[in-house]
Amino acid sequence: MLQNWLQWNRRAKQWLWIITLIGVMAALPIGYNRMNTESTSKQVEYVFDYRDLIEIAEYSAKPQEFVAQHLIFMKEAGISTMAVYESSLRELMQAGRLTYYNSKDAALLQGKLETPGQNFTYILYTGSEEKEQVGPLVRAAFDRAGIVYRDWSFDGRDGLVVELPLQNSLLQPLGFDPMSLQKIKAAGLSVLPRLTDRVLPFSQEEAEATLAQLKDYGVTRILFDGDKVKGYTDNAEEKSLRVFADLLNKYQIGVITIENLKKEQSGMTTLAYLTDYNIVRLYSLSPTDGMRMKPEDIADRFLLAAKDRNIRMFFLNGAPSSSQEKSAVINPLDNLYLSLKGEDGNKGTIQRLADAGFAPGIAEPFDREYPSWVKMLKGIVVIGAIALIALLINAFLPGTLIAVFLLGIVGSAGLYVLSSSVLEQALALGAGISAPTLALIWVMNRIYSRTEGNQRFVGGADWTFRNKDKGQGVVIPLNSSVDAGGKWIFEGLPARRRLGLAFSWFIVVALMSLIAVPYVFGLLNNITYMLVLQQFRGVSLLHLAPIGLVAIYVVFYTGHAPIARLRKMLSTPINVLMVVVGLIVVAAGMYYLSRTGNEGQTLPFERPFREWLEGTFGVRPRNKEFLLAHPLLLVGLFAALRYRAAWLFVIIGSIGQLSMVDTFAHIHTPLHISIIRVFLGLGLGAAVGFILIGVWQLLEGVWSKWSPVLKRIFAE
């Protein structure tokens, strides 16, 4: 019975590999559909913060003229949109619409004594036009809060007395300043409103009136200010997110998500879904970067963001700062203009992005299509991923292939009912781990068969040792304690033959690892990943598991049978050297993980080197792939055919295989960019590997020539 079961598993292995390859083929049309989606949004929009412009203008002799002049400069530089905020009394005063005083200052203004026991707010409008246009905003805010106020005037100017301390009055949220909106439109610029969720309780009537007003100014998109979207606070009781989403759809206004926020704005995922993902991604350049970065560096950053991260809106910030060197208050506006327009014959940001296919204009969402056949193919991809994961488990637990595959089918069906998103991510992670691990196991077996003399196929149930005298294979059960040799240097294969085998194995390993790629983009084929509303979890596990699994395979599944090797290891006393080695491995692992993901740490010299790579090749290959992992893998394959210790290079080289898979887990990066990045890394890595092999051979020749001489010298 056991023999029949093992035979069925061996046959099933071939069928599961066929199912795996069918899953790969099924994922390819899904990837093509994604590439079509990624090509539907190419315009980029440049936005400046109008509040920052007002604050900078305060340090000029004539603030209103400064604002009007720089609105013209911005349009000439290529900025097409101004971001405006819901107003406050402070912002209205900065814009020159009104002035405000506390009770003490108001009394001094009038030449009177302060009224005892009174701490009110006194407001004076700058003129009749300001009273007519801004006055309703101020009154509506105080009416909404139930605050008592009355008319007041002084020196021919009208205003209000508000029975509220000035500090509290300044915190009252007002609507959008219509005079600022008119000035921006008159300058030929678009308006990007920044809405908050501070006006509570949520009012459908007020929200609709605001959107109707903004639509009259040509607004097509809203950027939320703060840590939550409009309507989130009252959503549990009022279902206000759905109400607000319906209003956005009615007025055909989309929303914006900001890149690199520490925490996504609350309610954004729900609002994006309810608006059918009428959403674009925005990158914000900080005031400090706008001041300190060189114009060409800003252009490089924006080009990378548009090309590699699907950013379609760039938000420019500026702030005044004191300069002791210039004895003046300075601002970054001129630097930003140069970065956009270019100087001295160098192309600026706008022209460089236009040359790359990202013309300036109004940012648009991706026009996504989800044909019915995608869902059917995705089902096939799911089955293929289960088969691939089962093959990996069978490599470590021979004879379990059929059982694991069937359990995977049943478990996946149950998980799909609970959460299809969790199922997709779990299978993508499992496939991402399985393919590189199986590839490295395959090549370790090839090395073992060429050196130690025994051979074990991926997922096989037995070890097969070659009888050197008769040329026949002898089957050794898994619980056997037969030693397979233990040699450290293997003779026989010439360098040219080893190089040919190493390069062919390098290609096969890469192709086997890339089997995981269609599973990653096939399973994670969702607009939420492209917009980073949802992220692929388990990146750290993907970066560690293949390395650990390959190391376990080498330790336990070569030489002795796994059980015998495990018993021997558990009975080995722990010494100081083992502890030191363990600490070094842990430290190296922590540093390795610190360099993974979007927040990975880099060395000081790496950033300019990355920028050079980007400028040279158009797409930057990953440093750890072409400078470390791929060359070490190729050198390891070459050297391991002669030196047993070189297996360590192969294990370290697995970093490159899993890194290739991880590249495609960044769904916000266009698929064609990831493809170019991976194959460019493989090509450059192979080139570096060949150079290192040449150096290795040179050093080996030097050692062969001089080692006998050195031995005689030391012997004497």
Backbone phi and psi for residue 366, each to the nearest 5 degrees, phi listed first:
-70, 135
For residue range 189-207, what is the model confidence (pLDDT) as tens digits? 999 999 999 988 999 999 9
Give pLDDT, residue 162. 96
Q: Which of 175, 204, 232 is the last residue of a domain?
A: 175
pLDDT for 459 beyond 50? no
618 shares its domain with 553: yes
Answer whether residue 587 is part of any domain. yes
CA dist 587 and 161 (Å) reads: 65
**269-281: per-residue pLDDT in tens?**
999 999 999 999 9
pLDDT score for 480: 38
Task: Answer whether residue 151 shows pLDDT above 70.
Answer: yes
Residue 158 clears pLDDT 60, i.e. is over it: yes
For residue 185, give Cα distances in angstroms to 80, 81, 313, 374, 626.
11, 10, 19, 44, 51
C-alpha distances out from residue 365 to 1, 220, 246, 255, Å: 60, 11, 18, 9
**Cα three-residue angle 165-170-173, rounded to 5 degrees:** 125
Contact predicate 428/382, CB 8 Å: no
Instruction: Note whether 503 and 514 are same-domain residues.
Output: yes
Clarify whether residues 31 and 161 are in a common domain: no
- Is 10 within the bounds of a domain? yes
| Residues 305, 309, 310, 316, CA torsion sign | negative
**Within 13 Å, how many C-alpha atoms sit on residue 109's CB side?**
15
pLDDT exceeds 90 at position 7:
no
Q: 539 and 506, same structural domain?
A: yes
Domain-ending residue, one of 120, 144, 175: 175
pLDDT of residue 623: 87
Q: How many domains does the chain have?
A: 3
Domain for residue 667, yes or no? yes
| pTM strictly above 0.95 | no
pLDDT of residue 457: 39
Q: Between residues 644 and 479, which one has the greater pLDDT?
A: 644
716 domain residue, yes or no: no
Q: Does 631 sit behind a cis peptide bond, omega within 30 degrees of 0 on the bond before it?
A: no
Stronger pLDDT, 578 or 440, i.e. the higher one: 440
Residue 350 Cα distances to 14, 213, 303, 314, angstroms: 54, 31, 9, 11
Residue 502: strand, helix, or coil: helix
Residue where one domain finishes, among candidates 142, 175, 208: 175
Q: Are residues 162 and 193 in the same domain?
A: no
Examine the domain organization and report whether 247 and 274 are in the same domain: yes
CA distances 535 to 254, 264, 678, Å, are: 22, 11, 21
Work out whether strand 81-85 and strand 190-195 pair parallel, antiparallel, or are unpaired: parallel
Q: CA–CA separation, 82 vs 716, rounded Å?
A: 84
Please, where are the H alpha helices in 187-321? 204-216, 235-238, 240-250, 268-274, 287-292, 295-309
Which residue range is the domain that position 142 belongs to? 87-175
Residue 27 has pLDDT above 50, yes or no: yes
Percentage, residues of the chain above pLDDT 70: 87
Q: Pull the structure tokens for residue 648.
A: 């360590």
Q: Which of 99, 136, 145, 143 is nearest to 121 (CA)?
A: 99
State phi, psi for 352 to the nearest 5 degrees.
Answer: -65, -40
Q: Tell me: do 304 and 164 sit in the same domain.
A: no
List pLDDT tens digits, range 331-384.
Answer: 999 999 999 998 877 899 999 999 999 999 999 999 988 888 999 999 999 999
By three-state DSSP, how is residue 556 classified?
helix
Chain position carrying tokens 């979007």: 598
**CATH number of the CATH domain containing 257:** 3.20.20.370
Torsion-angle region of residue 191: left (phi > 0), alpha (psi -120 to 50) or beta?
A: beta
Segment 95-132, tens digit of pLDDT? 999 999 999 999 999 998 888 889 999 999 999 999 99
- Output the pLDDT for position 558: 67
Q: Report the relative pairing of strands 279-285 and 254-258 from DSSP bridges.
A: parallel
Cα torsion through 233, 236, 242, 248, rounded to 10: -10
SS3 611: helix
Pairing of strands 157-162, 149-154: antiparallel
Contacts for 489-494 with beta carbons within 8 Å, 24 or more apart? 489/642, 489/643, 489/644, 490/450, 490/451, 490/641, 490/642, 490/643, 490/644, 491/642, 493/450, 493/641, 493/642
Same domain for 80 and 145? no
Give one word for 530, left, alpha or beta, with left for phi > 0 and alpha for psi -120 to 50.
alpha
479: pLDDT strictly greater than 50: no
Whether residue 119 is found in the same domain as residue 247: no
- Whether the per-residue pLDDT at 593 is higher than 60: the answer is no
pLDDT of residue 35: 94
- 462 and 547, same domain (yes or no): yes
Whether 132 and 242 share a structural domain:
no
The answer to whether residue 506 is domain-embedded is yes
Strand partners, 82: 48, 191
Write phi, then psi, for 689 (nearest 5 degrees).
-60, -40
Nearest-angstrom CA–CA distance, 538 and 163: 56
Q: Examine the pLDDT at 478 and tell me if it is beyond 70.
A: no
Which helix (DSSP H) or strand (DSSP E) does residue 122 occupy?
strand 121-125
Side chain identity at 44, as an amino acid letter?
Answer: V
Which has the closest alpha carbon to 554: 364, 396, 320, 363?
Answer: 396
Q: How far apart are CA 618 and CA 614, in angstroms?
A: 5
CA–CA distance, 118 with 100 (Å, rounded to integer): 16
- C-alpha distances (whole Å) from 364 to each of 42, 357, 634 are 8, 14, 45
Q: What is the pLDDT of residue 311?
A: 96
Two tokens, residue 502: 């190493």
The single residue listed with the structure tokens 């700058």 is: 126
* Residue 410, domain member (yes or no): yes
Q: In this predicted model, what pLDDT tens digit does every residue of 302-321 receive, in sequence order? A: 999 999 999 999 999 999 99
Q: Catalogue the long-range contacts made by 406-410 (C-beta closer than 8 Å, 24 or more residues apart).
A: 409/383
- Amino acid in position 449: S
As separate numbers, helices (DSSP H) first and strands (DSSP E) second, the chain gives 30, 16
Cα(614)–Cα(458) distance, rounded to whole angstroms?
39
Query: Nearest-CA neighbor of 84 among 172, 175, 168, 169?
Result: 175
483: confidence class by pLDDT, cuts 50, 70, 90 = very low
Length, in residues, of the chain = 716
Q: Is beta strand 98-102 parallel, antiparallel or unpaired with respect to 121-125?
A: antiparallel
Q: Do residue 557 and residue 660 come from a single domain?
A: yes
- With cut-offs at 50, 70 and 90, classify the pLDDT of residue 716: low
Which of 214-223, 433-442, 453-462 shows the lowest per-residue confidence on average (mean pLDDT)? 453-462
Gap between the Cα atoms of 553 and 562, Å rounded: 9
Lowest-pLDDT range of 214-218, 340-344, 560-564:
560-564
